[in-house]
Amino acid sequence: MAAPSYPLTLPASPAFRSSRWTLKRVTAVSESPFTGQQQVYDYGYALWTATLTLPPMLRPDAANWEAFMMKLHGRVGTFLLYDPDAKAPQGGVNTSATLNGAVAVGDYTISIDTNNANMTNVFKAGDYIQIGTAASAKLYMIVDNANSNGAGEATVNIEPPIKVAASDGAAVNYTSAVGVFRMDSPDLGWYTNEVSRYGITFSCTEAL
């Protein structure tokens, strides 16, 4: 049998009972002991992390999650993950979107061709977008409301900054936008109680 092909797709059900999302950054602050003046430095490390808990479930549902975890081979494999409480945008965008111009690593502002002309709040702060597909998918959050012009183009501010360069015309997904993630621990398992209800909780971090 061939090794699994990554990234994997999550089992379809059940939905997560709870999730905690964090953008993990590495920064430094140096403070003078004499004046209190501070110097700050951003090292550029910015990765999404998530801790997810599934609801109690019986074996037919749990078995799919057990198999999913086994196929990851600990921290070797990767999988696609989206924020389960933010699958749809708050903004009015409702057609296919693409990059309006190439983007470079480190860009905080990008232009998107939304195909929605003259729309106020075509994207809203807190909406997710995905640039790239499958193993190259990168997840970003729009941090300011954005309007589109008469050509349907919108200038949007994102966090974290662009991690992988993408070309003009690359697809921008805003529905169930995903990133590629890897488990935080190589030891993946589950527990059951006296009535055979399974419980599964895991934590993961964006994979670059």
pLDDT digits (tens, 9 = 90+) for 83-113: 999 999 999 999 999 999 999 999 999 999 9
Q: How confident is the model at residue 4 (pLDDT cuts 50, 70, 90)?
A: confident
pLDDT digits (tens, 9 = 90+) for 191-204: 999 888 999 999 99
Q: What is the C-alpha to C-alpha distance for residues 41 and 43, in angstroms, rounded to an integer?
A: 6
Beta bridge mates, 52? 19, 202
Q: With contact defined as beta carbons under 8 Å apart, do 48 and 23 qualify?
A: yes
Give the burial class of 21: count Cβ atoms within 10 A of its Cβ; 0-12 exposed, 13-18 middle, 19 or more buried.
middle
163 DSSP assignment: S
pLDDT digits (tens, 9 = 90+) for 40-56: 999 999 999 999 999 99
Which two tokens mark 115? 């195909």
Count the Cβ atoms, other than its own, within 10 Å of residue 3.
Answer: 9
Beta bridge mates, 111? 155
Q: Provide the pLDDT for residue 62.
A: 95
β-pairing, 79-81 vs 8-9, is parallel
